[in-house]
Each structure stands twice: as structure tokens, then as C-alpha cells.
Amino acid sequence: MSRAVTAPRLVIGAPRSGEGKTTLALGLMAALRLRGLRVQGFKVGPDYLDTGYQRYAAGPAGRNLDLFMMGEDAVRDAVAGVQADVAVVEGVMGLFDGHRDGVTPSSTAEVAKLLRAPVVLVVDASRMAASVGALVLGFATYDPDVRVAGVILNRWNPRRSRDAVQAAVERAGVEVLGYVPAAEHLELPSRHLGLVVADELSAEVEAVMDRLAAHVEEHVDVGRVLALAEEAADALSPAAPAREAAPADAAPTPASVGSARSGEAASGPRIAVAWDDAFAFYYADNLELLRDRGAELIRFSPLTAAELPVCDGLYLGGGYPELHARELSGNVELRRRLAAAIGAGLPLYAECGGLLYLCRSLEDLDGRTWPLVGAVPGRATMHERLQGMGYREAHLAGDSLLGPAGVSVRGHEFHYSTCILENERHPAYIYEGSPEGYAAGDLFASYIHLHFAGCPALLEHWLERCRAFAGASSPSDRPAPSGGQSS
């Protein structure tokens, strides 16, 4: 059933956040997978956490579709270039909600139009009856280019009659695909930034996915949902060649780190990727793009490793370093070796949590201060309230690891911390006229997360600096071997 160009596909949307689209999208992915289908999950927007759960539901690593950061071509290619039996796209917020800057609308509806995919609307019907029909009619007719093909009524009370709701929705010209009762045992764990990172509770998450799959199979017409997805099986004409869906462990784990070119030795630099409970926020496409350019990715844990892997560059992603500040601070030997490697010119790219780890210290919510790496001359502080959230359009403040001064970038930030630098002479970006982040030599650290599918030239500039470092240093000059793992 595999498609060489574009898989059957559908979008799971909702009238607003909180209707249950994440849970039902995961359950649908898991149910389709248990039917023997190859499923690829996607998430509209910049979210890291939902895609982590998609890996447990669908098998392959979940991938992001973000029109603001990636642009239309890269979003289309992300779906058109994957070989799978079906692609399930989980939306973000309400169906028509999203960032609008006059140029780049980024709602779930815009992604559905771009992909020419039908929408299945998830509606919380716990406090509605026939009024569901009016709501669905509004969503189905609001934009004639968005096809709302079906609705799943979530948190349905099984003691209620379906007749009035069924008739009302059908008058809107939309199919009812399922009546799903609430089930507390299917809830996913959460914390202040959203869901808990799936890998922290892998056994528990796998069990929840099994229960979700069974719940969806019982209460949703999965066969009809699949038939709707088949109606969108026409090709999307990708600019890039089709490729197999990434494996379940496409993040840098022991079984998958290394060159993406099967059977070939890595031809590019070795990039050490921080990956553990403190650092796990990486876009799957960013890691795949690195591999596509010949990089070999080696996982290491700032929590437990005593040394850095032998490498030509370092990638410190986001995560929850504040929850592991004691352990990160206590790993003095790695902090010392990392600071020395940065001082020796090791190219290092860090985002958000990675920025915090590189600061001289981090003050947690209890007022305790933890010494950290010290490569960034600043002090980080955690706060109870959100300190920064939203899309960012900035430009490189100076010549740096990512490229020449003035290059524009589009990214996203979401953090509860602040980082106060001792001086602002070396910002990474200029955003709305103000300095942001820190960049000096081949160290680049910022709160802004980038999706490199939207700015491949910046990725290539980083890799060039890694190649230059490799060419200028002998193996004895590089960070010494440690517990890093590669395949």
C-alpha cells in the first residue's frame, strides 16, 4: 500500500485548544499502526512535546509543519517526501487560529489547504447537543477551500441519545465519525511547559498508547477515517526526492546516531548532540538535515557523561535543565571539559535550555544557585511566569557560527527563564532593535529555536565551521572520547 510520492493524509483539527485533538490524534495513529499500516505523524506549529508522543503512537519520529519558520515549500516537501501508508497531521489551537503577520498565515487551516487534505474536527460535546450542528456548519463553511469532512464528538456521555446530534451534524453536510466517551486512564502527564517529555516515562507512555488505540477503535470508525485520507492521495509534487519515514528512534539514540546514508561511512563532521532528560527538544528534521549533509551525530548526556565524545561540533538543544540543575552542576568534570573545548574553538550551537546550561549559574525557583559551564558570561534565573513566547523574526547581530551579520531568521521561543548577560557586546541576534542571546567566536547560544528546513544556509555555515575545526585540529586536540554512542 506504500506510496512513492505522497501518502494518503488528513488533518485533525478542533474549534479551540482543549477539545482533545492531541489525545485523539495519538489514538488514531496508534490504531492505524496496529492495523499494520506505516503511519507518519506530523504536528502543525513549533511544538516539540507532541511530536515526541507521536513517536510512541505511530512508530516514526513525529515531524513539525510550521509555515512561519519553514515556508510553504518546506512544509509541502515534508509531507510529499515521506513514504508511508498514511500521514496524520495534528493541528494547533483552533482550526483557523494562528500567527498572522500579513505575509505568512500559519493556522492549521492553511496547512490543510496547502496539503489538500481533509479535516476531521474534534469537538468537545460534553455540554452540547444539537448546537454541535451549528458549530460544525460554521467551521465547514467559513473557508470554502478547507474541507471539513468529518467530526469526532469527544467526551461524549454514552447515556445521551445520539439522534439530535447526528441529524444536526449531517444537516451541515459533515459525517459523524465517532462518539468518544471521556476516559481518565488515557490522560497524558503534564507540567508547566505542556506535556512531560515522552522519553521520561517511556514504559508508561507505551501503555497509554495501547489503551488509546483500543479506545479509538471502539468508538471511532477508523476505516472511514482512513477512506477520507485516501481521498487526498494525489501527489504534492515535492521538490525533494521521496524518502522513507524516519525510524521510531530517529532522535539520536544508541541505535540510530550516525550518518543517514545507509551502508556508507559518514563524510562530514562529527556532531555531539546533548540528549537526556535535561535536553531533548530537537526538531526531527533538523537532525535529519544534518545527516543528509553527511554529519555523524553522537549522543551524549550532560547529566552523566564525564567527558565529551570526540567531535567537530556540538549541538545543545532545549529541554528542562532547570529540573536537573543539581545533577548538571554536580557533573563538574564534564563542565570543565566542555568549557575547555569551547575555549579551544569547538563550534557549538545552543538553543534555550542549552543557553541556560552554558551560563555561569542558574537560579532555580527555590532561590538556589547552581554553577554551570560558564562559557556564556551571564546568569540565568527561573520564574513562575512565562518570560517569552511566540514567533520571532530577527537578524544575526554579527558574523557568527550561523553566517554573516544581517542575515534574517525566523524562529520561535518559549521559556520561563531570563538570562542576564554581564555585557551586551556579543549578541547572537538583534530582535526588535534589542540584543538577544550570545555569540562569540564559534559559540552561538540563544533562546530562539530554529527549524533549519526554513534556513538551510545557516545550517550549512555551521557545518562549514565544524569542517574547518576538524581540518585545523588533530584528533588529540579534540574533546576526548566518552560514553557518546554512534551507529
Active site residues: 352
C-alpha to C-alpha distance for 94 and 99, rounded to whole angstroms? 12
* Residue pointed to by grid coordinates 516537501: 77
Handedness of CA 299, 198, 56, 95 (dihedral sign): negative
Q: For the chain, how far is it from start to end, CA to CA, in angstroms? A: 30
Greatest pairwise CA separation for the chain in angstroms: 75
Give the residue from 366, 396, 360, 351 showing the smallest Cα distance to 380: 360
DSSP result, 264-282? S---S-EEEEE-SSSEEE-
C-alpha to C-alpha distance for 72 and 331, rounded to whole angstroms? 43
Q: How far is CA 139 from the centre of its chain?
A: 27
Instruction: Give me 143's grid cell.
Output: 473557508
Instruction: Give me 178's grid cell.
Output: 465517532
In this structure, are residues 14 and 123 in contact, taking their beta carbons and an 8 Å threshold?
yes
Rama region for 289: left / alpha / beta (φ>0; ψ in -120 to 50; rest): alpha
Give the residue from 12, 60, 440 showing the smallest Cα distance to 287: 60
C-alpha to C-alpha distance for 326 and 270, rounded to whole angstroms? 29
Q: What does each C-alpha distance from 342 to 336, 346, 437, 454 come to in angstroms?
A: 10, 5, 17, 27
C-alpha to C-alpha distance for 408 and 74, rounded to whole angstroms? 17
